[in-house]
A and B are shown apart, each in its own frame.
Chain A
């Protein structure tokens, strides 16, 4: 006769509520592990898919995903000249937040080096890659945009020509792919009034110099568009991506480029690790801390409930002892209930998670090894939680029946 099962049947309401509570807690524990995995997946998604062997970024920086990185667009040509480099692409990455149809639209803008890179490598769910140099974009579905939808960003309107799913940045915001020049236009877009004020300011500065006073044409040039000023460099890009020739030694190429004092060079692997160890590490530690706290809370709740259930049965346990029941009968009664709460709670957590996790705003990735390790932890805390009740039960004297 299974005493644990009989007792559960008798106290089904309390047992069910406890199991649901533990299940919800375990679902959060499970979800937090999944969110961490999702963070890594999202953070490294672009780096893993873009197909670059080496990333050339601003010197003494960790690249555009870690901090602001600006390199001259001409770096692309310089890099092409390095032996072993088969191709070089400009790359722009920055995050914008604009309003679209009355709601905030937060986009991680990715500039692709037109015409070499049209985004053919981007995994599309619908539509097509970029086909023209301007005013087209490929958007992730998380941005809430539809195929063919037109979005005003700055002074220009961009048509959504392709849709991806799950292509998000390390912040969880959806990626939008543009040509480099469009990405720069979006990045450096300023209102017309600001341009006029800047031109007036430049003219005033030139007038204050001797050369400005003696050369009126220079004053006119200073008050004109930026592109007409030879002293100002064209807009910079975030990084230059290199594809190596078959058989080329990546270390040798990186060694050559890293000698240039204005840039730093990273392999794809190094860029991934930088992302994980930098941006995701704190989130990992925070989530890990929450997981530990929730596991402790689950253990305490289970222990309290089992202790209460044991207290309710003290008289019955004393009677069993009086009748001569062995300790294993009494230990089994409490331990089986604890394990059952743990196992059912775990099952409930998994089942609820399959419905709840896809609705989370951030990607939740549940790996089999995480499920296995949580299962082991749940078994452990079930045993641990039962110890309080078991200790109490072991101390009960049979003559308690007489009281």
Chain B
């Protein structure tokens, strides 16, 4: 994997700020976009900016064809069929769609103690609104998933197990193969929050046998405001959409309608065609490089960084061992505020990381930790980035 060659594809990395290069380590929040994705979106806006599936002119035919191709490419990206792919705005929308259309009163949902708010707050609201029951599975002391506890808690009353695949808190990847097997043995469905896993790992939904998978385009070099919900076709058929309107109905009269089949019945209104086309291009771009190569690259960088920083005075790295954390390093330094660290890294050397509670407020509040600094790596980060990060962190540590 020629990282320097890959970096040339990213226009945002070619600039310098205050005379210094950019060290972007916030891909878990938003990844950068290669020019191929930008060009694909621009081509839509410049060459065929029509709406799909409605009009009969050349623009409309072209965009209909490209939109359909985009769906097929995304399906191939995760090993699914095209009619199992619903385009959404982000992972949050995908998760909310399933929660709000699948769950009924007294349904039991299991989730973990390290979930993004998007996989927790909807359950809290539904618990009050319609009376679902949700239970939190606590992690072990080493912050790994407690599969034994999960097996003990599972029973036939559980309707849905909705868990994060790779955590945005610390990069830890749950043993989803075992989780899915145990869940299915008890007749429960499984939904994965794949926001941090799909961009970084080879995913095959058929091999995993997962029932629903939601992920975001903007975390995999795709456009902002794009995402995908995968669902097994027969499950999508049974779900009722929670947002309907144009392009979700085959026909309507003043007092009735006939919904289209999935995925169209979930895609109300004019869609983000540029986004879908750009997302498909991003998937193609990533697959050309190879996600296993990307994952290997991130882990190698993370190992290097972790080895250098773990013994720094006052350093606390959140999460299990580096091999299980992918490309994410979440940490605190005693005596220095996490927001201060992030601001100083940015001011000193254009090192862009995130600080705060990373939308996992529940975990931080439960552990009485104010927040952390999170550096998240991706295919365009280099060893040079890692060294600059470590050097500047060394300087910041001296403030203690």
Indicate, yes or no, whether A interacts with B.
no
